Amino acid sequence: METVRVSDIANHIGREAVIQGWVYNRTDKGKLCFLLVRDGSGFIQCVAFKDDLSPELFDQIMRIPQESSVIISGTVREDKRAPGIPGGYEIGIKDLQIVQAAQADYPMALKDHGVDFALDHRHLWIRMQSQWAILRVRATVMAATREWLDGNGFIAMDTPILTPAAAEGTTTLFETDYFDEGKAYLAQTGQLYNEANIFSFGRVYCFGPTFRAEKSKTRRHLTEFWMLEPEMAFCDLDCLMDIEEKMIVHILSRVLRDRLPELKSLGRDISKLENIKAPFPRISYDQAAAKLADLYSKETDSEKKELLKFDWGIDFGAPHETALTGLYAQPVFVYGYPTAVKAFYMEPWPDRPEVCKSVDLLAPEGYGEICGGSERISDHDLLLKRIHEQNLPEDAFTWYLQLRRYGSVPHSGFGMGVERVVSWICGIEHIREAIPFPRTIKRVYP
Ligand code: 4AD
Ligand code: MG
């Protein structure tokens, strides 16, 4: 008999098959016992009918503990009512072998657990259908991202994780001793190295973990998160937004093609994702500020009004982004942020140095910033001035400054936060569920 994965079950209707997996749930109805079995690729209902099995085997199935590992053989049937992912199929059990009977005290039994308890048991929580679905979407988001970049002239270049200096602000650095060389820091971004790489490869991307020793406890922040960072030579701000838009549209279409059952199982309103189409609106920071002022003046709830308070020059907080994205069904680009709130390397706006050629992409439904990017300063002296203004160690940036001496060109890039994108696509409340083992200020276990 052929061993089959649940994801492939539709190709085996009417045939005998073997499934290897774990018992997710069990319900009994007189002579029938239903096991919901998961095998990593999906969930399928397996039905034991008393009259078809030996009394010993039926009895064993009736008492099988949740999470026991099993090998089941039986006949694959189509049944519209059968639960599961993809769902609509079941296996009539002919034989069942228990590989290991799980202990009866499984901590993550199928009921509501407090968040801290669930996080303490993340190593088991990831087995739960909702978590499995989210992390499957995550894998597809990452694959689709690479697929689009690899298919559009980008070269993957890995950038170092141990770095000599801050690149995204000095307040969020994880520091470590580095032999006789002094201090090293965990990378907050691979961007600066990407900027070196474009002068050899034109269009590059790095995709890896990045670290922020951020004291934020919001539902959007992790201290270790995965960032995708493309960087392009001969590319200005408009070119940058075109690329972001195409890539995001591709990611969505792949997820909608390959992960629909997962999204449905999460209760996601699929139509909201299906309706996303290029072009995304592009508004300036000034226009966004005016919209916020308008929303502020119209807000009647005093608590909400307080949160919407806004003066030109500040960076947007989560409530501002949420309010802004509420105005659009599409993701929205906000460009031209105040120079003072953005990183040192951003190209100033021509004739208006108080704003810079930065752009954030805000996801709808209140999700807010999923990508942050900019055109980079290409002039050597201006970049040096900015490094001094921000009290960054010039020595650590010698190599970075040299890039502006030998064939400097206008260039741009952005970073996409994988967990932010996954949170939005899955419609989940908190970013910690969008990564297998989340790291936050309060958590490095398990
Ligand atoms: O806006 P950020 O800080 O931009 C950079 O680091 C640039 N150097 C990227 C570049 O231009 N190559 O971060 C980029 C994205 C954000 O838009 C957000 O999606 C995500 O990374 N991000 C976080 N995600 C989770 N937890 C955090 N603490 C995050 N900080 C940023
Ligand atoms: Mg940002």
Q: Domain locations in the chain?
A: 2-100, 123-434
The pLDDT assigned to 170 comes to 84
The CA 123 to ligand 1 mean position distance, Å, reads 27
CATH number assigned to the domain covering 2-100: 2.40.50.140
* CA end-to-end span of the chain: 39
The answer to whether 2-100 and 123-434 have equal CATH topology is no
* Residue 436 scores a pLDDT above 90: yes
Report, at the CATH architecture level, how domain 123-434 is classified: 2-Layer Sandwich (3.30)
| pLDDT tens-place string over residues 21-44 | 999 999 999 999 999 999 999 999
- H or E stretch covering 70: strand 69-78
The CA 212 to ligand 1 mean position distance, Å, reads 9
Ligand nearest to the CA of 230: 1
Coil, strand or helix: which one is 220? coil
- Supply the residue whose CA is at minimum distance from atom 27 of ligand 1: 221
| pLDDT tens-place string over residues 124-144 | 999 999 999 999 999 999 999
Residues with CB under 6 A from ligand 1: 168, 189, 191, 212, 214, 221-222, 225, 227, 229, 369-373, 413-415, 417, 419-420
Coil, strand or helix: which one is 420? helix
227 and 151 Cβ atoms separated by less than 8 Å: no
Q: Helices in 169-266 by DSSP H: which ranges?
A: 191-201, 237-258, 260-265
The pLDDT assigned to 289 comes to 96
Which amino acid appears at position 71 of this protein?
A: I
Task: Assign 282 a pLDDT band (cuts: 50, 70, 90).
Answer: very high
Region of 295 (left: φ > 0; alpha: ψ -120 to 50; beta: rest) is alpha
240 and 412 Cβ atoms separated by less than 8 Å: yes
Which DSSP category does 433 fall into?
A: G
Nearest-atom number in ligand 1 for the CA of 361 is: 17
Q: Tokens 């049937």 belong to which residue?
A: 77
More confident residue, 304 or 251: 251
What is the reported pTM?
0.98
Q: Helices in 114-236 by DSSP H: which ranges?
A: 115-120, 122-125, 129-150, 191-201
- Between the CA atoms of 217, 219, 224 and 227, what dihedral angle is there, to the nearest 10 degrees? -140
| pLDDT tens-place string over residues 211-226 | 999 888 899 999 999 9
Which DSSP category does 338 fall into?
A: B
The CA 370 to ligand 1 mean position distance, Å, reads 8
Which DSSP category does 440 fall into?
A: B
The pLDDT assigned to 229 comes to 98
Ligand nearest to the CA of 216: 1
Q: Count other C-beta atoms under 10 Å from residue 95's C-beta.
A: 13
Q: Provide φ and ψ at 181, rounded to 5°.
A: -90, 0
Q: Count other C-beta atoms under 10 Å from residue 161's C-beta.
A: 14
